[in-house]
């Protein structure tokens, strides 16, 4: 039984990653959007290093949040349109596997490129080297949690407007935004940031099973 679940998981993950690789806009658009938002702040506000450094945590996290929302509508939409989602729920395979595989694929396609772009953004916003590790750790935890939230938004808005997904997800992303910003700000001020990362880790640990199960129920609403 376990081997069958693992096989299903890696089959779904490989299939979705292959499909995403053929649609370059899926991973390039969030990456470009993130870099554009970051680069606009020095141009629009001030090139002063101290000023930009003070804004950097909030700017990076807002850009990461908005960028991760760009592709959430695609998590289930194509499978819903071509009937793949119907076949999966008719079968006896565990729905949790489908949802978690798709969430992981969404993070690999959108969240991971944002991590790489955040290193470039740290240079643009004059972040100290000591803040790179907490920034990357907080983004790993936070963007994956955002993918989990995005899955619920995508499930509730199946067959509806794409903007509805972002409207559903945005209010619930505020705690992640606050914790991520606080972690980076504490690192810049040479304060202990581990508490914020622990909170984000706890949110993710609860969110993986909890939000995946809620996503399954949200998808089933479309079949009732």
Rounded to whole angstroms, the Cα distance separating 199 from 201 reads 5
Half-sphere CA count of 212, side-chain side, radius 13 A: 18
Rounded to whole angstroms, the Cα distance separating 99 from 102 reads 5
Q: In the prediction, which pLDDT does 26 show?
A: 66
Rounded to whole angstroms, the Cα distance separating 1 from 19 reads 27
Q: In the prediction, which pLDDT does 202 show?
A: 93
User: At a CB cut-off of 8 Å and minimum separation 6, what does 83 contact?
Assistant: none
Half-sphere CA count of 56, side-chain side, radius 13 A: 29
Would you state the structure tokens that stand for residue 67, as one six-digit string? 């960028």
Q: What is the pTM of this model?
A: 0.86
Q: Give 10-residue mean pLDDT values along the chain (224 residues).
A: 65 77 72 86 81 86 85 73 68 73 85 85 85 90 90 78 74 89 89 91 90 83 66
The model's pLDDT over 102-152, given as tens digits with 9 standing for 90+, comes to: 888 888 888 888 888 888 888 888 888 888 898 999 999 999 999 888 888
Q: In the prediction, which pLDDT does 168 show?
A: 79
Q: In the prediction, which pLDDT does 123 show?
A: 84
Q: In the prediction, which pLDDT does 130 show?
A: 83
The residue written with tokens 């069958």 in the block is 4
Say which DSSP state 46 is in. Answer: -
Q: In the prediction, which pLDDT does 71 show?
A: 73
Q: In the prediction, which pLDDT does 165 show?
A: 73
The residue written with tokens 């808005």 in the block is 157
Whole-angstrom Cα Rg for the chain: 18
Torsional sign, CA 94, 95, 97, 98: positive
The total number of residues shown for the chain amounts to 224
Half-sphere CA count of 156, side-chain side, radius 13 A: 17
């Amino acid at each position: 039984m376990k081997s069958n679940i693992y096989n299903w998981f890696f089959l779904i993950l490989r299939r979705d990653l292959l499909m995403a690789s053929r649609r370059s806009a899926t991973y390039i658009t969030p990456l470009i959007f993130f870099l554009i938002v970051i680069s606009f702040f020095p141009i629009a506000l001030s090139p002063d290093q101290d000023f930009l450094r003070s804004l950097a945590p909030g700017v990076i996290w807002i850009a990461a949040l908005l960028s991760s929302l760009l592709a959430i509508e695609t998590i289930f939409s194509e499978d819903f349109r071509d009937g793949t989602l119907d076949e999966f729920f008719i079968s006896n395979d565990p729905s949790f596997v489908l949802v978690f595989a798709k969430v992981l694929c969404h993070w690999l396609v959108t969240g991971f490129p944002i991590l790489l772009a955040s290193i470039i953004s740290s240079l643009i916003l004059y972040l100290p080297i000591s803040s790179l590790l907490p920034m990357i750790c907080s983004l790993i935890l936070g963007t994956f949690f955002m993918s989990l939230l995005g899955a619920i938004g995508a499930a509730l808005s199946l067959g509806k407007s794409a903007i509805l997904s972002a409207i559903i997800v945005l209010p619930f992303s505020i705690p992640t935004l606050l914790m991520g910003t606080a972690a980076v700000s504490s690192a810049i001020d040479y304060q202990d940031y581990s508490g914020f990362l622990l909170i984000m880790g706890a949110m993710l640990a609860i969110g993986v099973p909890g939000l995946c199960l809620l996503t399954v129920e949200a998808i089933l609403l479309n079949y009732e």
